[in-house]
Amino acid sequence: MSLACPIDLNTSELRREVSLIYARVAIEPDGEFHFHRGPAYAAAFLGYVSEELAALPAEATASFAGVGNPHRIHAIREGETVLDIGCGAGMDLLLAARRVGALGRAIGVDMTEAMVERARSCAKTARQDNVEVSLGDATALPVEDDGVDVVISNGVLNLVPEKDRAFSEILRVLRAGGSLQLADIAVDVEVSEDTRRNIDLWSG
């Protein structure tokens, strides 16, 4: 069974397509997409607390397109440093920022400029001074070695063709004893070669 993308897949084109799709989600979250979005979906299907989401800027929750709830895996503690890989408009990131408090840090990384801008704006609106958001890629995180207590990611790593590099980066930035709280898409059957070469399916 193959666990990687085809070696000749145009990963630059794939990244461009992913970025274009999620730029649209940032700018027009109520547009036509084939995946769920928004706070009502997050609360009804993924177990987020409606009251916590209502306390966040609407721009952060409207563009949420995660597939699970990494916050339910383990409690994030006050004073910790949390990294959100593929933070999008910042819903999971801002929830983490509230939990770590003023003595902690919440670092967001996203490859889409529109999402980075939206997350920074939402952090400012929420007056979360412990939030940092950077433009970056899961395979080359702009984070120091051993600098993070918790890595969260929600529906992002399935979009990364070089998953071995992405997980190596997670190991690099996590401190000893740190945790990975990952929500993502997985399949339990082998995906055909034609499907793995279809950038539209990868990027969706």
Closest CA to 69 of 91, 97, 88: 91
Tokens of 98: 């509230």
pLDDT tens-digit readout, 88-122: 999 999 999 999 999 999 999 999 999 999 999 99
Which comes out higher in pLDDT, residue 41 or 162? 41
pLDDT greater than 50 at residue 87: yes
Closest CA to 59 of 41, 85, 43, 39: 39
Tokens of 15: 């990244």
124-132: average pLDDT: 97
Q: Specify the pLDDT at position 1.
A: 33
CB atoms within 10 A of CB 187: 7
- Tell me the domains of the chain and their CATH numbers: 11-203 (3.40.50.150)
pLDDT greater than 80 at residue 5: no
